[in-house]
Amino acid sequence: MFDGPFDVFALIIAIIAVLIAIKASSQAVELRRRLASLEEMFYAQRQVQPPPLMPAQVQAEAPATTATEPPPLAPEAEAAPPPLVTEEVSPRPLAASTEADAPPPLAASTEAYAPPPLPAPAPGFEERLGTRWVVWIGGLALALGGFFMVRYSIEAGLVGPGVRVFLGGLFAAALLGAGEWSRRKESISNIAALPIANIPAILTAAGTAVAFATIYAAYALYGFLVPATAFVLLGIVAMGTLAAALLHGPALAGLGVVGAFVTPILVSSGKPDYWALYIYLAIVTAASFGLARIRLWRWLAVTTIAFAVLWIFPGLDTSELQVAPHAFHAIAGFVLAALLVVCGFMFGPTIEDGEIEPVSSSSLGAYLFGAMLIVLSSAHADLALIAFTLLVGATLLVAWRAPAATGALGAAAATVFIVFAEWAVRANPDMLVLPGGPMPGVGPTAIDGAVTLHLVMAAIFASGFGIAGFLAQGRSSSAVIPVVWSAAAVATPIAILVALYARIAHLDRSIPFAILAVLLAAAFGAATEALARREDRPGAATSVALFATGTLGALALALTFALEKGWLTIALALMSLGTAWISLQRPIPVLRQLAAIFAAIVTARIGYDPRIVGDAVGTTPIFNWLLWGYGLPAASFWGASIFLRRRGDDPPLRIVEAAAILFTALLAFMEIRHLATGGRMTSPPSLLEFALQVCVALAMAIGLERLRLRSRSIVHNVGAVALTAIAGLISVFGLLILENPWLLSSVDVGGLVFNLLLLGYALPAVLMLLLSYAVAGHRPVAYANTIAGAALVFALTYLTLEIRRFYHGPVLLYGATTGAEQYTYSIGWLGFGVVLLGVGILVNSERARLASAAVIALTILKAFVIDMSTLTGVYRALSFMCLGIVLVAIGWLYQRILFRRQVAPPPAPQAST
């Protein structure tokens, strides 16, 4: 492509030149834009001054101004030209107007015409590197240098512990002094974010971080300080950092907080003291939250919370978990966040009523998450559970007092469910309760101390969330806050009940849990009625809907706990029907969604086990568990769809209608499979099964085609097409290919007339023909003609297979085809074509006549391709003779009957004149 290196270099230079030209062009365009904007600003501010009049113009205008002789002009007036008169004004002495109309002095005009100052250019890469990044990195390097010097001195044994602490304090004091000296030297006292790196702030931040490390090492590593002294000194440093950050701005706050939280990692010991660590972190957290509260720095509060939660993890992976200090860390952080971070609670910032503030909610949720981790890592130790319970109760209290923290209710509900769910699935044999009771010889029973504590916690959580969520309705002018309370009040008790059922009853039938579910449903129902009778408040409708949903959900759980697997499926389907009926009595929008949810749950349940009750389906045809497991849900969903349709067509209605169609089809298909396999549902399919499935699918498609014309439902429309497609697939691959008794299957088709061929080919042909007439005029012509063509194919297939049955007996796969059989095929096809033609003539159906033409054309093709080469003797002659006679007769019918032309009489001769 290129002749040498010179061409390559030339191409590269050209590309570079193009890029440079493009950049220069863009810069020129930008410069022109800026110049134009400056010119517009300059001319907009400039006042247009009228030009002075010439003496001739003054003399010409003087007679027009006054008829009398003007007084003599003063010297000042002679020097000042008169203004240009642009409109008629009342006459006045010229001397009086000259002083007012005189142009401004030159200095004033110059100031008015001065252009505005140009904006300062944005700092370039080199400026940012030299004024910001280098200083920031230098401050961080100073702090890290102090930390690593302490570590090196410890590892090398250069100096004693006392000297190390003294040198660390001396280095911290030097950094703090340098920072304060530079601040006073430069007279800098910035509180807001600085446009450049603030050197005094960086030095002060490094000094505070080293001070934190030194005091912590003196207390935790060497024991020079008792806990009280260390607490006071760390508090003094924290308060000093707070005061310094108020002077030096957020840069110091950020570096100070990061350094304080990283200090325990850099200056560590082989045996960690978690009490010392978490007391230290509590002081740092309090100082950081206080600074964030004073300056309203959300980022500082969020950073502090993130570091504090991360410090929970290091002690969780140890075999001997110290629960007490970890619980203290979670509780202390939660209390500090509630006091200083949560808006509208105690010392937190103020906020408008009814607004959920993200930082307030997430701060409480973060410490709840930490408490949950402690519970899970300690294998649900009693102290961890008690601390977790206290924090959940405190969350309810804070959210009740401060609506800004309402979002923490979701975190509280989620962590409660995770704790109980993990306890339910934990592989603890000593607590595992099997359906027949506890495992013998393993240990404590189901009512030991740990289980009792969990049950007490469950009762506290369920009643606390439920009662608080009900009482919180109507307390806020916001629509979101009561909805969050009601959602937590409904979801938490149900989730706890499910977890306890899984843990104690091991997912087996349990009447006590069913009774608890019924009581919970009654409580939710009473709350629904009480809220429905109240006056309309923001969020009231949604809250009523949520409590109504809880009522139905608890009833569904009661049925789940009390019934076997098969009856559970039926019960959930009946719940969908009942919910749809209730939605008519109480027009709550969420009830429609709930009916759809129940339908979806039942559908998922069927996908998990299509036989519903496993191997206990039974062997009785039709009247077995499939009839109840699919028939009753199908009837329930059809009834629910009727109820839901009375109030409009929406997605919940469509979901229920789809479930009704699905369960109706599954009922038919599963019953057919049960009948065809004799109850052995895993057996391979057969010709009988395929035939029945095709007939049922076509019959349901015809019914849906009729139904959709009245309902105008898109689900009925799609369902009819889907069933037609399913019938087509089974017809082609099942009946015509896989189970075709002449091609692949050696099935015994039965008697001469009443056999499987009648069921598998003749009846589908009739149903296809009926379906084609059902869709005619309502769907595209090609759709109807395709179904009619399939009916013709199956009718011809049935005729062919019946002829073979006559010659070969009930098994059609074996045996050679004789000449008489080939001749019978031709005669039978020809007669079928004639019958179709006669029907087409009698009922005036063009479709039937075209089908006749197709069959006769196929017969002609067979005669010239197969009969001519395989038949011999009289059969060949008779075949062609009959074919010729029929063709001539058909031609005569078309000429004389179908397309008869009237011959016009000859014109009468004209008389000659």
DSSP 26-56: HHHHHHHHHHHHHHHHHHHHSPPPPPPPPHH
Tokens of 703: 């019914």
Distances (CA, A) of 376 to 47, 323, 418, 423, 677: 78, 11, 9, 8, 50
pLDDT over 60 at 369, yes or no: yes
Tell me phi and psi for residue 368, to 5 degrees.
Answer: -65, -40
* Residue 112 confidence (pLDDT): 45
The answer to whether 189 touches 243, Cβ cutoff 8 Å, is no
CA distance 383 to 376: 12
Q: Name the least confident of 302-316, 391-405, 723-737.
A: 302-316
Span 27-36, mean pLDDT? 67
pLDDT over 80 at 676, yes or no: yes
Taking Cα atoms as reference points, which of 392, 235, 366, 213 lies closest to residue 301?
A: 366
Tokens of 580: 């749809």
The answer to whether 770 touches 741, Cβ cutoff 8 Å, is no
pLDDT over 60 at 212, yes or no: yes
Residue with the larger pLDDT of the pair 43 and 309: 309
Q: Name the least confident of 3-12, 357-366, 505-514.
A: 3-12
Span 51-71, mean pLDDT? 44
Which pLDDT band, with edges at 50, 70 and 90, does 909 fall under? low
Residue with the larger pLDDT of the pair 73 and 30: 30
pLDDT over 70 at 555, yes or no: yes
The answer to whether 609 touches 617, Cβ cutoff 8 Å, is no
CA distance 190 to 248: 5
CA distance 662 to 669: 10
Which pLDDT band, with edges at 50, 70 and 90, does 762 fall under? very high
Q: Name the least confident of 8-17, 619-628, 759-768.
A: 8-17
| Other Cβ atoms within 10 Å of 344 Cβ, number | 19
Residue type for 242, please? L
The answer to whether 395 touches 408, Cβ cutoff 8 Å, is yes
How buried is 215 (Cβ within 10 angstroms: 0-12 exposed, 13-18 middle, 19+ buried)? Answer: buried
pLDDT over 70 at 772, yes or no: yes
Residue ranges of alpha helices (H) inside 92-198 are 94-101, 106-113, 125-128, 134-156, 161-186
CA distance 747 to 759: 14
pLDDT in tens, 680-713: 888 889 999 999 999 999 999 999 999 999 999 9
Highest-scoring range by mean pLDDT, 110-124, 530-544, 617-631, 753-767: 753-767
Contacts (Cβ under 8 Å, ≥6 apart) of 453: 382, 385
Residue ranges of alpha helices (H) inside 629-743 are 632-645, 651-677, 687-711, 714-729
pLDDT over 70 at 127, yes or no: no
* Residue 359 confidence (pLDDT): 92
Span 361-388, mean pLDDT? 92
* Residue 79 confidence (pLDDT): 41
Contacts (Cβ under 8 Å, ≥6 apart) of 49: 103
* Residue 572 confidence (pLDDT): 81
Tell me phi and psi for residue 434, to 5 degrees.
Answer: -85, 170
* Residue 99 confidence (pLDDT): 42
Which pLDDT band, with edges at 50, 70 and 90, does 29 fall under? low
How buried is 223 (Cβ within 10 angstroms: 0-12 exposed, 13-18 middle, 19+ buried)? Answer: exposed
3-state helix, strand and coil shares in percent for the chain, rounded to the nearest 5 = 75, 0, 25
Share of the chain above pLDDT 70, in %: 68
Which pLDDT band, with edges at 50, 70 and 90, does 865 fall under? confident
CA distance 156 to 223: 20
pLDDT over 60 at 568, yes or no: yes
pLDDT over 50 at 91, yes or no: no
* Residue 875 confidence (pLDDT): 66
Distances (CA, A) of 736 to 697, 721, 730, 757, 790: 17, 21, 9, 12, 11
Span 769-798, mean pLDDT? 95
Between the CA atoms of 830, 832, 836 and 838, what dihedral angle is there, to the nearest 10 degrees? 70
Enter the pTM of the model. Answer: 0.59
| Other Cβ atoms within 10 Å of 583 Cβ, number | 24
Which pLDDT band, with edges at 50, 70 and 90, does 571 fall under? confident
* Residue 608 confidence (pLDDT): 73
pLDDT over 50 at 619, yes or no: yes
Which pLDDT band, with edges at 50, 70 and 90, does 662 fall under? very high
* Residue 6 confidence (pLDDT): 37
The answer to whether 640 touches 599, Cβ cutoff 8 Å, is yes
Place of tokens 């549902």: 681
* Residue 196 confidence (pLDDT): 41
Span 716-730, mean pLDDT? 96
CA distance 688 to 665: 17
Tokens of 862: 């067979």
Residue ranges of alpha helices (H) inside 378-448 are 382-401, 408-425
CA distance 201 to 195: 13
The overall average pLDDT reported for the chain is 77
* Residue 156 confidence (pLDDT): 64
* Residue 306 confidence (pLDDT): 93
Span 722-742, mean pLDDT? 95
Residue type for 912, please? S
Share of the chain above pLDDT 90, in %: 32
Which pLDDT band, with edges at 50, 70 and 90, does 883 fall under? low
Given CA atoms 760, 765, 768, 774 in this order, what sign does their dihedral have? Answer: negative
Which pLDDT band, with edges at 50, 70 and 90, does 409 fall under? very high
Which pLDDT band, with edges at 50, 70 and 90, does 745 fall under? confident
CA distance 392 to 419: 12
pLDDT over 60 at 887, yes or no: yes
pLDDT in tens, 307-353: 999 998 887 876 667 889 999 999 999 999 999 999 988 888 888 77
How buried is 910 (Cβ within 10 angstroms: 0-12 exposed, 13-18 middle, 19+ buried)? Answer: exposed
